[in-house]
Amino acid sequence: MRKTQSKETPVLALGAMSGTSLDGVDAAVVETDGHRILGFGGSDYRPYTEAERAVLRAALGLWPEDDVEAASQVVMEAHAALLSRFPEVDVIGFHGQTLAHQPRGRGTHQLGDGQALADRLGRRVVWDFRSADMELGGEGAPLAPFFHHACARHIGADAPLAFLNMGGVGNLTWVDPRIPRPEAEGALLAFDTGPANAPLNDLMQTRRGQAFDRDGALAAEGEVVEGALELFLDDPYFSRMPPKSLDRNSFGDMVGLVGELGDADAAATLTGMAAASVLRGMDHCPSPPARMLVTGGGRMNPVLMEMLRATLDCPVEPVEAVGLDGDMLEAQAFAYLAVRVMRGLPTSCASTTGVRMAVGGGTVSRPRGAATV
């Protein structure tokens, strides 16, 4: 039986993230009281097999009433296998696998059953992080900004900076770490910048049978085709004021825009589109950031990073430059958010998702039949 903990007691939280790039599941431990980051623990990764990735790709865009049983089994088995390697944690933050996200339409669908996971692992599981936000008029995304605020304060930043996550979709968080509470006015602005790795990954899978453009090697052989880039940037999404968010397939015609290009030029152009969408997003920042810290798989693509450095007016660095782990930052975010949910603290606010009031999303599931957990 566990001892009862006060709301100030630090806990070990385990977060899990399976992103829209469909590469696999990340898991990472954070020690936190829900406000401060007190330390980072172990982490691990469980890649999806090619067969599992194909099942998940086939389920993208589906809703709970659709046949998602095969995809659900992939998600649950992969998460259970990975998270069982961390027996000493107090709580698990389980994001699930996003299949569809329509904030101005049908809502959002993260595949995965947090109660079933709690029963299987014998740990409290916090999940369904987005629904409460969307019920109050929010976009339901991005959700990492409150953690980014904690990270900025953890590294001792003393001026506004930006976190840029280049996963399947790109999202940017502008942070003023001088403001102590993330929900306070002026502390945060966050939004999805546009498609990032997802269209390029789809192109690589279709044309080369590869999961992604490793080290930007194919893009480095090609050139950005300006006509296709201009058509992409004409989309009204880029002029919309944030907060705003995207589904993985919101720009489903991107591969079509490069359909007649050779492989190298197509890869270079899709990479250029990802970088250009970030540049357009910078117009919305309250003030220029002192630096941009890049996380997600895109930071490993030297072509994309060079494009960002060439167009942005601030230093662009991977988050490792300040001692953070760019592979695990999103998993760590859901560990941190899980503790905030347990302690009744907000996880999103008007400046991050457009929600009408600061809200703490998430459902807490306890293992059935357990005593005190």
Count the residues in the chain: 373
* Order of strands, sheet of 169-175, starting from the edge strand that comes earlier in the sequence: 188-195, 169-175, 161-166, 292-295, 316-318
Dihedral sign for Cα atoms in the order 6, 112, 36, 176: negative
pLDDT for the residue numbered 168: 85
Angle of CA points 167, 341, 352, to nearest 5°? 45
Please say whether the beta carbons of 175 and 148 come within 8 A.
Answer: yes
Q: What pLDDT was estimated at residue 372? A: 41
Encoded amino acid at 156, one letter: G
Q: Which residue has the tokens 């097999």?
A: 49
CB 292 within 8 A of CB 312: yes
Quote the Cα angle for 161-167-172, to 5°: 25
Residue 104 pairs in a beta bridge with none
pLDDT of amino acid 1: 39
Residue 3 pLDDT = 47
DSSP for 27-45, written as a single string: EEEEEE-SSSEEEEEEEEE
Q: Cα–Cα distances in Å, from 121 out to 116, 254, 333?
A: 9, 41, 20
Nearest to 83 by CA among 92, 74, 75: 92
Between 69-83 and 114-121, two packed helices, what is the crossing angle to 10 degrees? 40
CA 337 to chain CA mean position, Å:
13
Residue 137 has a pLDDT of 93
Q: Which two tokens stand for residue 330?
A: 């999103």
d(CA 209, CA 197): 16
- Report strand pairing: 316-318 vs 363-365: unpaired
Question: Quick one: DSSP state of residue 319?
Answer: G
Cβ atoms 8, 33 nearer than 8 A: yes
* Cα gap 69→72, rounded to integer Å: 5
- Name which of 198, 161, 204, 164 is nearest 299 in CA terms: 164
Per-residue pLDDT, 300: 95
CA distance 147 to 332: 8
Residue recorded with tokens 């970030």: 278
Which tokens sit at 191?
């939004």
Q: How far is CA 178 from CA 53, 139, 148, 200, 317, in A?
A: 42, 26, 13, 37, 21
58 three-class SS = helix
pTM for the predicted model, two decimal places = 0.92
* pLDDT-flagged residues of the chain (< 70): 1-7, 370-373
Domains of the chain plus CATH, in order, are 11-140+341-365 (3.30.420.40), 156-322 (3.30.420.40)
pLDDT score of 5: 59
CA distance 219 to 301: 10
Query: Is 47 in a helix, a strand, or coil?
Result: strand
Q: What is the largest CA-CA distance in the chain?
A: 64
Residue 18, phi then psi, degrees to nearest 5 = -125, 105
Distance, CA of 72 to chain centre? 20
